[in-house]
Structure 1
Amino acid sequence: MGELDAALNIVSSIENSKIPVIGFVYPTGSYAWSAGTLVLMSTTIAAMAPGTVIGSCEPVEINPITGQEVFINESKILNAISQYFMEVAEFRSRNATFAHDCVFYNTNLGPEDALKYGVINFVATDLDSLLNEINGSTISGGVTYYVINPEVTYYQPGIGYQVYEVLINPTIQDLLAGIGLFLAIIGFAVRHYYLAGGVGIILMIIPMLTGLSVNWLGLALLIIGLAAIAIDVHAGFTTHASLFITGMILTVLGLILLQPTYSPQSWLMATNQVEARIVLYVLIAFVGGFGGFIAAKVIGIIRTRPLSERLYWPINDIGTAVDDINKDEIGYVRVRGGEYWRAKALENVRKGSRVVVVGVDGDTLLVKPSA
């Protein structure tokens, strides 16, 4: 299963390849539905392992916000996709009727039926047995293939695509949305922790972005992550660094998703490695510079804090109210050039007004408006 545009690009690359391409639905228990069926039919040699399935190619439209799937029933679209499937099948001398029916009727076939009806060329239990089957066989078109001392190279998707698969997993999306909603409610319901609700909003936004391609999702996460870091630093870590940590995680995920990955050189069909590396190095330089700026801010804030709040209370110091604090209520004040302290107001104070520290109650400062 997959995006139609991506499948069409893969099919085009396979059909224009100067070397034979083998498609193998493997191991047992696997499937190649929808776009996977189209890709399999486009290969020079198609094979399936026992216990696998292909078919179910009716196109669906996915809402990028809700993730809801809606089957497309418009004849214009169905006829166009069906005709393309049939052309791909006929190009490889395969069963065009199946190509038509799997689009209109979601027909499915197991390996034995697929071989019987001319959809695939071989049924094999594993890669070695498949290569043995191919060796000396004449495929439709009159070409005889020989497999002599093959060197098998296994290639796995890069870490960026592995992370992408995790993020687009419906279970992970539901989990992020649920945790995000909970944090947002708590964050905005509890006074002084309203910025922490931003973490919840970010978690709810991520599932909405997973309809984007891997690179665009990476860029979106990178931007959101850097914005979250900047907001928390500017706010003086009033979220207890929760927004900062979330931003760091999103920034790292964004960089991972944006990291260019390459196939072995012999497999490359078309790629501009120079351009890809320039993009990567620019991103690293930008994030490195921004990270250095944030680190300097964090270090400056840490250095301004006293080594022990309990040993060094700012009695009689003048500060600024961070919140509107009514009499006998708790809020935050900023004293000594930027330190944030919990404070209890002995008289009403307004946000931004000057206050004087007159005492300490446990770990909370006692303040009143400065004369």
Structure 2
Amino acid sequence: MFTSKRYFWILGPLVCLFLGGAVPAQQNQNLTGAAFLLDVRGVIGPATSDYVQRAMARGSAEGAALIILRMDTPGGLDTAMREIIQDILASPVPVVGYIAPSGARAASAGTYIMYASHIAAMAPATNLGAATPVHLPMGGRLPEKTPPPGEGEEAGTSSEDTLTRKAINDAVAYIKGLAAQRGRNERWAEKAVREAASLSAQEALEMEVIDLIARDVSALLKRLDGRTVDVVGGEMTLQTTGMTVIPVEPNWRDRLLAIIANPNVAYILMLVGIYGLIFEMANPGFVLPGVVGTISLLLALYAFQVLPISSAGLALMLLGIAFMAAEIFVPSFGALGIGGVIAFVIGSVILLDTNVPGYDISWPLIVAAAVSSAGFLYMVLFLTARSQRRPVVSGREQMLGATGKVTAVSEDKITVRVHGELWSAQVREPVILGQRVRVMELEGLVLIVKPELEENLHD
């Protein structure tokens, strides 16, 4: 059992670690007039939006003169992208969207963020575009041409095509609104959404999609000097010559969120949590499985809160696990268990309601979890079946048919030894000391026995 003192030694360092990590880095530096450099790499998700939001709020509070979003991203979740764009539009500090280093890209969600930034810049040999929303209905496809209102319904267009058009039109209106606010090319913005068009850095500059090309951050600051931008507080002229650049790294909270918001990690946490609680309920008093299971399940639920999960997929997974657990306690010759495995696999496949690359559950992980669950279920059923075939070793049934030896004979009582125990017995035929007998009946604590055909008078 864990004592309070042991809990202190375990939890104390963790509390100190988290409190220490919560203290903002570089809090004693004078950051007034500096440029905050944020690196947005990989898939844009909840952790990315939280990181950008905190860094921009910090920059505004500490008097930063510029915020640079250095991006290399294939895109990400619509909700996270819109949160970042809302922060950019409301920022009193100019935000520069910068695709770098050379070879980087800002596809899909990254293109929208570039259009929302006060200044858009790219390094040579980079590209942006392919902004078509990929969160489409199952089996949906992009329409070759958007029909006039009402025409699709008359032609018998399916509801999936209608939903696809709605998603496309919403994305077009959104990016055109950003383009109009920043004075950028609206026609190409629409083309990037409808046709998934992409541009190189030089082409983007020529088509007025971006404002400048810079090979690195130093060159970017030189090119920005003297430019006028329109922010929430009014027009501002940038003075970036000799400006200090402060890299802003994600804090412990953003790193933790990035880990648990990974769909595969959230999936594993949920399984560990559920199976831990099942084990604790089946074996009360172990404590550790219940503690680990509860913590894992809470972390998984937090991750699912920020991920676009399908409620039907989650319900099927929980139902499948419940069926497999019920098979252990209510044997149904495999019906509940097999149904549970099927429901579990289907729920795992449709759990995440998105087609964004990087935000799906790995097939090998699903297969491994299903096989492990099925293997555990098979082991339980095998052990249950084997226990039913095993001879009874206690109770009335164990005594019937057992053999013993007469140890004492008197006029009113016979004593026999059966399974190493002495029992009072009654016989309907004469017996002698040392004769072997077989138990035929059990009346209370008295055995009804009969002599065996072969006598054994020796111990």
Provide the TM-score with structure 1 as the length reference: 0.49
Higher relative contact order (CA 8 A, sep 6+): 2
The higher radius of gyration belongs to 2
